[in-house]
Chain A
Amino acid sequence: MEEKQITVLDLISLELKEQNALDLHCIGGRAGLSRPIAVPDINRPGLPLSGFFESFAWQRLHIFGRGENAFLHRLEEEGNTESLRKFFSYPVPACIFTHNLTPGKSFFEIAEGSGCPILQTDLASSELTSRILRVLSDLFAPETTVHGVLVEVYGIGILITGDSGVGKSETALELIERGHRLVADDVVEIRCVNGSILMGQGANKIIGHHMEIRGLGIINITNLFGVGAIRDKKQIQLVCSLEEWDPDKVYDRIGVEEKTTEILGVRVPTLEIPVKPGRNIPIIVETAAMNERLKKMGYHSAKEFNQNILRWLESESARAVYFNRDDYI
């Protein structure tokens, strides 16, 4: 499969809200918006501007704050463009000016001549730095798509997987009816954020939350159940794998051993749930979610039960030993 390439235009056109917004707009070198961003990192170009180009990380996005901009204006006054020309001899992906700062005329000429886009934002440099690093690490996060339904049940993100026709969508529909939330039906896009968190979301936000139910066709969940029944993205914390009941297969009866599924290198607790007519799958998924929450709070039902059994057996045998002693009065 082909690798996706991220361009400067992709970065500008991202739909980010509130504390994630970058507020970037292009103020020059529009033709360069198609330049690719190769590394999820930024650079403050103080040293190269002053003429020091050793270990110059030109592949990164370059952020010009008040200091850099003041220096640029000084260079402009002096008519010194040597270091700027050298700077733009590298295929720099983009230059970003914070605080809505604007560089001098010569900067525009040289940057546009080399095909480098110039962006501007009203954010402060430190704020932009932290936001853009977060956004870039999200963009560069490993990604995969999985066939299944992602629902949020009692705050736990559950990925329901299984073959076509096993009843994933029907299970999700019943869960929604019971007041839980749909994140994505059928195609779940998963990103591994921070190397350990799996974020799942629908493949296409514009199309919204729809489901296909056999016999009904395509239904709009938002319109039918309201905005309370949907969610944009959710961390995947549990996988429920639905499968046709196989009489020869041994299913977990105790739940002390934990199975996991590996997605993008992250292990997610997994339950294999056999499906057979008359089995109420939604209530099993609901209980699994509550059980998962208990486990997170440090209470493991199956292990606790087993501990109690062991303690009881121990005290019983202790009693037996005590009462059967020969020297007992």
Chain B
Amino acid sequence: MTERSVTISNRAGIHARPSALIVQTASKFPCKVWLEKGSDRINAKSIMGIMTLGASYGTAIRIVTDGADEESAAEAILHLFETRFEEE
């Protein structure tokens, strides 16, 4: 189980395009990937889950991975957040 914390730094929050990027990245890894916002936990390999999470600018998100390759999966997702999903 690997955990990373991140704050959403792109102004538009997680809308369709960032969600698709997260799902694409998460699906490359065999491990389980979740995103947590407060007490909600959703599967990061499901696009509807990410979009309906309602993650707006400034929201604190926890990335949780579990299984084979969990370290690199967490890093890859974290990288997406840190590069603001190649936006702005």
**Are the C-beta atoms of A145 and B42 separated by less than 8 Å?**
yes
Give the interface SS of chain B, mostly helix, strand, loop or mixed.
mixed
Given contacts A204-B54, A207-B52, contact A187 B46 (CB under 8 A): yes
Q: How far is the CA of A190 from the CA of B39 in the complex (A)?
A: 13
Interface residue ranges of A120-150 to B (CB < 8 Å): 145, 147
For window 9-49 of B, CB contacts with A under 8 Å fall at: 16, 27, 36, 38-43, 45-49
A187-225 interface code vs B (CB 8 A; 1 in, 0 out): 100000000000000111001001110000010000000
Residues of B close to A2: CB separation below 8 A: 38-39
Cα separation A204 to B37 with both chains bound (whole Å): 14
When each residue 1-28 of chain A gets 1 if its CB lies under 8 Å from chain B and 0 otherwise, what string results?
Answer: 1111000000000000000000000000
Q: How many residues of A contact B (CB 8 A)?
A: 18
Residues of B within 8 A of A147 (CB): 42-43, 46, 49
Q: B interface vs A, CB < 8 Å?
A: 16, 27, 36, 38-43, 45-49, 51-54
Check A212 against B38 for contact (C-beta < 8 Å). Answer: no
B52 contact from A3, A4, A164, A187, Cβ within 8 A: A187
Docked Cα-Cα span, A147 to B32, in Å, equals 12
Distance, CA A81 to CA B17, complexed state (A): 61
Q: A1 to B48, Cβ gap below 8 A?
A: no
Contact check, A185 vs B48: say whether CB atoms are below 8 A apart: yes
| Additional 7 contacts, C-beta under 8 A, given A147-B42, A203-B40 | A1-B39, A4-B39, A186-B47, A186-B48, A187-B42, A203-B42, A207-B52
A168's closest neighbor in chain B, by CB?
A: B46
Q: Please, how many angstroms separate the alpha-carbon atoms of A210 and B52 in the complex?
A: 10
Question: Is A212 a contact partner of B48 (Cβ separation < 8 A)?
Answer: yes
Please state if B52 and A212 are interface contacts (CB–CB under 8 Å).
no
A-B CB proximity, top 10 nearest: A186-B48, A164-B45, A147-B43, A187-B49, A1-B39, A204-B52, A203-B52, A186-B46, A212-B48, A186-B49
Inside 8 A of A1's CB, which chain B residues have their CB? Answer: 36, 38-39, 41
Q: How far is the CB of A202 from chain B (nearest CB, A)?
A: 8
Do the beta carbons of B38 and A211 come within 8 Å of each other? no
- The contact sample of 9 A-B pairs, CB cut-off 8 A, is A2-B39, A3-B39, A145-B40, A147-B43, A187-B42, A203-B40, A204-B54, A207-B52, A212-B47
User: Which residue on A lies nearest to B23, using beta carbons?
Assistant: A164
Shortest CB-to-CB span from B67 to chain A, Å, is 12
Q: How far apart sit A35 and B43, CA to CA, in the bound complex (Å)?
A: 33
Q: B39: shortest Cβ distance to chain A, in Å?
A: 5
The chain B residue with its CB closest to the CB of A4 is B39
Please indicate which of the listed interface residues B16, B36, B43, B45 has the most CB atoms of chain A within 10 Å of its own CB: B43
Tell me, in angstroms, the Cα distance from A168 to B37 when the chains sit together. 25
Q: Which of A48-76 contact B (CB under 8 A)?
A: none
Q: For A3, what are the chain B residues with a Cβ–Cβ distance below 8 Å?
A: 39
